[in-house]
Amino acid sequence: MKLPALRQRIPLLLAKLDEAHPDAHCALHFRNPFELLIATILSAQCTDERVNMVTPALFSKFPTAALTAKAKVEDIEAIIRSTGFFRAKAKSILGASRIIVEHFDGEVPSTLEELVKLPGVGRKTANVVLGDAFGIPGITVDTHVGRLSRRLGLTKLDDPVKVEFALNKLIPQPQWTIFSHRLIFHGRRVCTARKPACQRCTLNDICPKVDVTT
């Protein structure tokens, strides 16, 4: 399907997602950009629920980039151990905090170009922070967004960055962030990886069930 034809489907897709998931939001708990940045780093290969169980203790002890930058990596590891890959994540948290302090006066940068230079931060994490902490639209391509984009025929691509760029051409920019959240909610609640609930899916009548475009 060519891009113009795909774009004609988008308003209906967005309306159906809005109706199905009006409560869609960032599932990570945070109070400021620094907390969201750290929570998103922790969310790699880990559920949001688990991250939300860990971050209260972490942010109680290390509430700012300045304090985190002075932490011992072992102290961070001890708190985040249950999130998996805790050694690598602790190094990323410590490294990112030090760069934020040294180069950004202790404040999380608000551009994608600056964010992706931080340890442990790729485009997915950067777009989460931009969209939900700074109100700057960004499409977050996690496993749910990638899977549903292919199932809905929005792309054939597997690489998350290429999927992001493909979706950028289809979805109106002001809706990039909320579109990501609604697709994630739909992937968790309905269009799951192993057993998609097609019989109760509100997108059933516009879902081609096959990949149709790049």
Query: What string of pLDDT tens digits covers the 214 residues of the chain?
Result: 666 677 888 999 999 999 999 999 999 999 999 999 999 999 999 999 999 999 999 999 999 999 999 999 999 999 999 999 999 999 999 999 999 999 999 999 999 999 999 999 999 999 999 999 999 999 999 999 999 999 999 999 999 999 999 999 999 999 999 999 999 999 999 999 999 999 999 998 888 864 334 3
C-alpha closest to that of 137 among 168, 175, 167, 109:
175
DSSP 23: T
Question: Would you say the C-alpha torsion 50, 26, 34, 166 has a positive or negative sign?
Answer: positive
pTM here?
A: 0.92
Cβ pair 117, 37 in contact under 8 A = no
Mark whether 142 is an active-site residue: yes
Cα 130 to the center of its chain, rounded Å: 10
> Measured between alpha carbons, how far is 211 from 147 in angstroms, rounded to an integer?
10
pLDDT at 210: 41
Phi-psi category of residue 105: left, alpha or beta, with phi > 0 → left and psi -120 to 50 → alpha = left
Catalytic residue among 142, 156, 162, 211: 142
Active-site position among 16, 89, 124, 132 = 124
Tell me whether residue 193 is exposed, middle or buried, using C-beta atoms within 10 angstroms of its C-beta: 0 to 12, 13 to 18, 19 or more. Answer: exposed
For residue 29, which phi and psi values (nearest 5 degrees)? -85, 130
pLDDT at 205: 87
Does 162 qualify as catalytic in the annotation?
no
